Structure 1
Amino acid sequence: MSRDPARPWLVLFGLALGMCVTNSFARFAYGLMLPAMKAEMGWTYAQAGWLNTANAIGYIIGSVLTMALIGRIGASRLFAFGMVTTAVALMATGLDAAMWWQTLWRLAAGLFGAMSFASSGTLAAQLFQHDARRNALAIALLFGFGGGLGIALSGAVLPLLLDAHGPTAWPRGWLFIGMTSLCFLPAGLWAARQLRPPTHEPPAAARLPVRRMLSLFAGYGSFGLGYFVYLTFLSAWMTELQAGAGLIATVWVMLGLCLCLSPFAWRPVFARFKSGVPLTMILTCISLGSALPVLMPGPVGLLLSAAIFGLSVFMSPGAVTNFIRHNLPLHSWGAAISLFTVVFAVAQTVGPYAAGWLGDRSSSIGTSLLVAAAVLLAGAALAATQKPLHPD
């Protein structure tokens, strides 16, 4: 077992900034700019959803590449490479409105972002290895604070920018996202260098007990299928409700702030359970958060939805990473996290396009939010059957 780096909390902060770039900016800022881009280019909901499906296809490719490369190249190098290339892809997204160009760079952002995402979980799991509570908090902070910071920054700036300058200002939004990503690079790259692989040859990775983890795979796949609908179409649904830019910004900032706080809410659960219980609880909360904007389509319902969804959504990868940390040996963590990421990535390719198609057919994207909530609830039931691999 390797030693912790000299300044583990600073290392974690750098990893979280990488998560901010490769997860929040690369995947979810698009949801804020979707209404403006849809209006400017005359897209249908299916076309708008396709771009996040392209992002998810790139995510599958990146996840598979990570599985193949993480044992040879190492998690720290993959994390750094993914962070740099994702920042470039985000800058390029704002340069041309053509659908083929948007598809190319949404796919690239997913591909490179997946490399960094899967690697960051492996790196964070190495922190505080002799302290289970701090280790659980570090994993939760990586996903919660890293994801929440990006959504809060995007939510505070993009709706007001687009409201002030109109739908044609969407390229400026991508420029803001790209420049912010470049500013985060130095800290993220420094953090990756602090967690180098051990100098001795690691033991060969044990064969993963995939059959014994099928319930967790199914629950995590349901998460991938359902959660992306909310983050893709929340702003579009609020636009259907004729919500102003101020309310949209407030809801997204609430979402981001609750994401930042979510690690503290879930840390005791992660530290206590070695089974699928944490993922079950998280998916149930995400399901409720996804349904509330339709069931309570007013400011109170929207803010309550953002709070519940934000306090839960990015804890799903944290719950899976925590399960792996409790149940598998260290030298299997990278392969296991990569495999879960592939399952998640395959599932989420279906969500945005299918939700957009359903929104076009029903003339309301709210229908898609309710269907996503049902999928997430089914995933919670599946994850509940996951037992620890090595019960005490």
Structure 2
Amino acid sequence: MGEETGRRVGGLHYGWIIAIMSVVTVLGALGLARFGYTMILPSMKEGLGLTDSQAGDLATANMIGYLVMAVTCGYLASRFGPRIVASIFMCIIGASMILTGMAPNFQVALLGRLLTGVGSGGTNVPVMGLVPAWFSAKRRGLATGMAVSGSSFGMVVTGLLVPAILGRYGGVGWRYSWYCLAGFAFVIAVLGYVILRNHPRDKGLAPIGAVETGVAAPVVKAAALQWGTVYRAAPVWHLALIYILFGFSYIIYTTFFARYLTWEAGFTTQAAGALWSMVGIVSVISGFIWGSVSDVVGRKYGLAIVYFLQFLCFTIFGLWKAPTGYYLSALLFALTAWSIPGIMAAASGDLLGDRLAPAALGFITLFFGIGQACGTFIGGRVADLTGSYTLAFVIAGSAALIGAVASLFLRTPERAL
């Protein structure tokens, strides 16, 4: 037919519906399940009598759960389809949040956060691997950048909702906060199952940005997929090693953001929550901006620029101990927050095509999870040893700078392997 399929179905390609639902799904998988902990932590820490190391360990357990599911869910999504896998694990997120809210001690809270991580990995990896199938390579960065903005909306919701719940229910407010977020997770699970579709051919369409040929792409059976391609490709390993550095650095910043501001910077819980929400609002555009930039200048240069800006963000937050420094750091993070996961998802599709993209993303997310687990483990212990989070943020900045340099050496093939 020779026309872009993006103009079909009454002017709106179903791929855009998929993109919107992916935003909502990421909101639940990461925005609520992971970043909700940032705002709940100060009250939860007090309620359970936790040390800074234990607070870090709860975040580490969440990352370990995410890590465990990263590779497995990449396979499951490629084998059974992202739609059903993401919906099931979103329900696990909801159940684990209820468990966390009911926790009488550190050990039960640790189990709750571990299971939340399992649910997050089992939801986020499949849905981020699904998005590239609906968009051609020239629009893939924009699409995945749109999907990761769900984390931003989650920050807005938790930054406004959690302080309100804490103010209303006092010492047990952190428990009600988890129950409330769990309710959102169950609703998102149902919506995802109803709305998501695994591939454009399920709707008789071609990807957005592709040229309609009138012939559906052949269905490749999972058994016939060359899984070894994922693990043997040198560019995939390079992406994975770069992704470790993002996981390590950003998780220190986001986990201890509110705790640092209320403990060392003199912010009230409400002021820290307001700033966190503002970061969330501004960061909505981060995925769009840098995903689109990577479509134009290439994935490696897009990654390098973002890593360098985050190096400035983390370092300023730790060393410039004044309101100007805190707000400048927050702005830098907001402008770059979720761009790296979006670019990584697009790069996975570029490297291995839409059928193996979930498996590739799952593989590199394994390394991302390792970085996150190490970041929260080290960040909490550095705070206990030094009595401050300053050094932890400087370490995070150093990791981001290494990521910027390493990104410049990334090589990608002209077409999918």
- Cα distance, 1:356 vs structure 2: 0.4
Partner of 2:208: none
* CA deviations over 1:151-177 (Å, ceiling 9, x no partner): 110001213432454343210111221
Partner of 1:190: 194
Distance 1:71 1:124, change over 3 A: closer
Partner of 1:201: 220
Is 1:284–2:305 an aligned residue pair?
Answer: no
Partner of 1:263: 287
Partner of 1:376: 400
Q: Which amino acid aligns with 1:220?
A: Y
The answer to whether the 8 A contact 1:324-1:333 is kept is: yes
- Residue range with higher mean Cα deviation, 69-78 or 338-347: 69-78
Q: 1:238 aligns with which of 261, 274, 283?
A: 261
Partner of 2:32: 25
Q: Which amino acid aligns with 2:147?
A: L
Is 1:132–2:138 an aligned residue pair?
Answer: yes
- Cα distance, 1:137 vs structure 2: 1.7
Q: Which amino acid aligns with 2:341?
A: P
Q: Which amino acid aligns with 1:139?
A: T
Structure 2 Cα separation of the partners of residues 182 and 75 of structure 1:
17
* CA deviations over 1:106-127 (Å, ceiling 9, x no partner): 1111112101111011111112
The answer to whether the 8 A contact 2:133-2:355 is kept is: no
Distance 1:189 1:59, change over 3 A: same
The answer to whether the 8 A contact 2:299-2:343 is kept is: no
- Residue range with higher mean Cα deviation, 104-113 or 326-335: 326-335
The answer to whether the 8 A contact 2:319-2:390 is kept is: no
Distance 1:182 1:212, change over 3 A: closer
Partner of 2:185: 181
Q: Which amino acid aligns with 1:316?
A: I
- Residue range with higher mean Cα deviation, 314-323 or 200-209: 200-209
Q: Normalised by the size of structure 1, how large is the TM-score?
A: 0.92
Q: 1:228 aligns with which of 228, 251, 255?
A: 251
Partner of 1:84: 91
Is 1:147–2:151 an aligned residue pair?
Answer: yes
* CA deviations over 1:178-217 (Å, ceiling 9, x no partner): 1222333333222324648877334523613432344322
Structure 2 Cα separation of the partners of residues 41 and 245 of structure 1:
18
Q: Which amino acid aligns with 1:184?
A: I
Query: What is the RMSD of the two structures over their aligned residues, measured on CA atoms?
Result: 2.3
Distance 1:197 1:118, change over 3 A: farther
The answer to whether the 8 A contact 2:142-2:291 is kept is: yes
- Cα distance, 1:321 vs structure 2: 1.3
Q: Which amino acid aligns with 1:132?
A: K
Structure 2 Cα separation of the partners of residues 329 and 17 of structure 1:
24
Structure 2 Cα separation of the partners of residues 275 and 158 of structure 1:
36
Structure 2 Cα separation of the partners of residues 250 and 288 of structure 1:
22
- Cα distance, 1:293 vs structure 2: 2.3
Q: Which amino acid aligns with 2:162?
A: L
The answer to whether the 8 A contact 2:253-2:393 is kept is: yes
Distance 1:111 1:170, change over 3 A: same
Partner of 1:211: 234
Larger radius of gyration: 2
Partner of 1:357: 381
The answer to whether the 8 A contact 1:15-1:191 is kept is: no
Structure 1 Cα separation of the partners of residues 295 and 112 of structure 2:
39
* CA deviations over 1:44-84 (Å, ceiling 9, x no partner): 11100000111111111111321342332222221111222
SS in structure 1 at match of 2:33? helix
Structure 1 Cα separation of the partners of residues 171 and 199 of structure 2:
43
Aligned length, in residue pairs: 387
SS in structure 1 at match of 2:267? coil
Q: Which amino acid aligns with 2:326?
A: L
The answer to whether the 8 A contact 2:303-2:404 is kept is: yes
Partner of 1:51: 58
Partner of 1:156: 160
Distance 1:250 1:90, change over 3 A: same
Q: Which amino acid aligns with 1:346?
A: I
Is 1:35–2:42 an aligned residue pair?
Answer: yes
Q: Which amino acid aligns with 2:331?
A: A
Give identity over the alignment, percent.
23
Structure 2: stretches of 5+ with no match in the other structure: 203-217
Partner of 2:410: 386
Distance 1:389 1:196, change over 3 A: closer
The answer to whether the 8 A contact 2:48-2:106 is kept is: no
Partner of 2:272: 248
Structure 1 Cα separation of the partners of residues 303 and 400 of structure 2:
11
SS in structure 2 at match of 1:66? helix
The answer to whether the 8 A contact 2:90-2:186 is kept is: no
